[in-house]
A and B are shown apart, each in its own frame.
Chain A
Amino acid sequence: MKAIAKTALPDLFAALKGRVYVPVREGKGYGFALWQGQDWPADYQNTIVPPKQILFPQTEDLYTFRVEGEDITIDPAAPPEEPSFIFGLRPCDYRAIELLDLVFRQGPYLDASYSKRRDNTFLMVLGCKEGLPTCFCTSFGLEPAFAPGADWNMWDLGEILVVEPGTDKGKELLEGLGLFREATEEEKSQVEKLREEAKATITLHAPTEGITELLQENFDHPLWDEVARKCLECGACTYLCPTCHCYDMQSSSVLGQGRRFRCWDSCMYCNYTLMAGGHNPRPSKRERVRNRFLHKLQYYPENQGEFGCVGCGRCLQHCPVHMDISRFMAQAKEVMAK
């Protein structure tokens, strides 16, 4: 374990060779943005938009094209070569990136641009001292102040930031920077204490045990109608979800010249599955809400062997009508037949 004074963070950010993303105040909340000399925020708990946007941008060019007479030329876009550092992401969002890895970097096809960005990105996790009322990460086996496997785990001890590398590249990076001193025994025990105390601050719990099997048996349960009724289909839950990976591909062009890009999409939208002939396999919000919840709680476990939810609480916190996956899980346990 190493330590650095928080007043030295600008020196650290300046020493990191690449794009450094830090949490910055954005309206009423926080978001990750490039560090441009600003101060480290004193009070952020988590960002509104998850840091997945750095690895999987909200819109991303795939190629530019030119149509001239009978001919088409295509010029592929390339993700940046420069390394990125996401400094201060929370353990839930780190875990979410591991889950995105299972989608984008596994299976018969790899996602080329995600993989490229991921290889070039250092994930420096900051442990949570205190959860929000909407946090339920512990329900999915996460620890609020520690992310196993992250390049760095960091803890805020007031004046001091303590850092523990968790990967070879994280270790190499830390040793190459001369800005750190060894952490004292006192600091190490403060970290232990912080980790323990953080766990107790997570007070929302969602029942995960047996939920996948229960949902497999209850695809047509009337609870789905009840749960879906108040949804406005605004899609905020899916845009703010750190594990949602669905995307659309679209073109924009003027007089045969343009670009093809991909952008985040949402399974909550009515035309998401609408086919050219007019058939829609998920015609109402009952099917769409069901798809979102089942993707997290049934399909992800079936395909990836892990829950697709990390309990970050963003979809609860920001839903205009208080849709709540944790509450749904409790309801399902109560009313769905075994």
Chain B
Amino acid sequence: MTNELIPQIAKVVAVRKETPDVKTFTIRGEKGLPFTYMPGQCAMVSLPSVGEAMFSITSSPTQADMEFSIKRVGLLTEALHKLAPGQAVGVRGPYGNGFPVEMLKGKDLLFIGGGIGLAPLRSLINYCLDNRADYGQVDIIYGARSPQDLVFTDELFERWPKIEGVQVRTTVDVGDETWNGPVGVVTKLLEELNPDPQGRIAITCGPPIMIKFVLLTLAKLGYSDDQIITTLEKRMKCGIGKCGRCNIGGKYICVDGPVFTLAQLRELPDEL
């Protein structure tokens, strides 16, 4: 029996600076992709002397390479940010349920992301856009603190808006001289856009305070709890539902999640 807690070794093949504190790492195993995965699934990335943590896989399985977009917030992410192409890292996975790509087929999709919260959504966005015929209208609303904190700018401003049936709206909390787009919170854009809930699923990820107000706005716009999907994060060690800490009530976020509908979350104790 192989021990799931032991990572395989992969190489960083590219590092892209997204913002002052977010970098996207492309990693490749000995035989290419370290493992197959679905949008919304996660992986444990490690530097053996420093530590290991769970990250959402930000690439889509329709892409050739695996990517992680990682914000510098602690010890491990600080060390990861120092990596250059060629450096080895540990990786194991995929973990978690991922987004319900089958259930979403034929639906219009409304993505609402904030800050680094766009990282897990990007996997699903690109998956849906690479399987364009399976999904309806795609609306993307994204907000960050400032123009320099916007991640995936090539896709936000170049690639995605050019695809038929895709609309991208981006806002920042505070603008600067380079910014001539909307200023304000994502819920403001959401109310302006007012996407019809009929046949549409909203998928949101971002800081807890953003999620809180997005949920209130979606409810106001007529979205039911099972039309709203989000993806959670918790401190994790094993990733396989044994080590304990990532539970909300009886659910382990690493195996039962990280993706839940709002209806499912309402069944759980309030311990987000």
In angstroms, Cα B265 to Cα A76, docked, is: 38
Is B211 part of the contact surface with A, judged by Cβ < 8 Å? no
Give the chain A neighbours of B238 by CB distance below 8 A: 247, 249
Task: Classify the interface of chain B: helix, strand, loop or mixed.
Answer: loop
B141 to chain A, nearest CB (A): 23
Q: Is the CB of A109 within 8 A of B250?
A: no
Is B249 part of the contact surface with A, judged by Cβ < 8 Å? yes
Is A108 part of the contact surface with B, judged by Cβ < 8 Å? yes
Give the chain A neighbours of B1 by CB distance below 8 A: 110, 112, 115-116
A282 to chain B, nearest CB (A): 7
With CB as the reference atom, state the residue of chain B lying closest to A303: B250
With A72-B9, A303-B250 known as contacts, the answer to whether A273 contacts B48 (CB < 8 A) is no
Q: Is the CB of A276 within 8 A of B52?
A: no
Q: Select one of A71, A108, A111 contacting B88, CB under 8 A.
A: A71
Task: Classify the interface of chain A: helix, strand, loop or mixed.
Answer: mixed
Q: Among residues 108 to 125 in chain A, which have CB atoms less than 8 Å away from a CB atom of chain B?
A: 108-113, 115-116
With CB as the reference atom, state the residue of chain B lying closest to A64: B48
In angstroms, Cα B247 to Cα A305, docked, is: 17
Q: Is the CB of A275 within 8 A of B50?
A: no
Q: Is the CB of B244 within 8 A of A258?
A: no
5 new A-B contacts, CB < 8 A, other than A70-B86, A112-B4, A116-B1, are A109-B4, A109-B240, A246-B244, A274-B235, A277-B73
Which residues in A have some Cβ–Cβ distance to B below 8 Å? Answer: 62-63, 65, 67, 70-74, 76, 103-104, 107-113, 115-116, 219-220, 245-251, 253, 256, 258, 260, 262, 265, 267, 272-277, 279, 281-282, 287, 291, 294-295, 298-299, 302-303
A-B contact pairs, 25 of them (CB 8 A): A62-B3, A62-B5, A65-B49, A74-B7, A74-B90, A104-B242, A107-B240, A107-B255, A111-B240, A116-B1, A246-B243, A246-B245, A247-B237, A249-B237, A251-B51, A253-B48, A253-B49, A265-B243, A265-B244, A267-B245, A277-B74, A279-B208, A282-B271, A287-B271, A298-B249
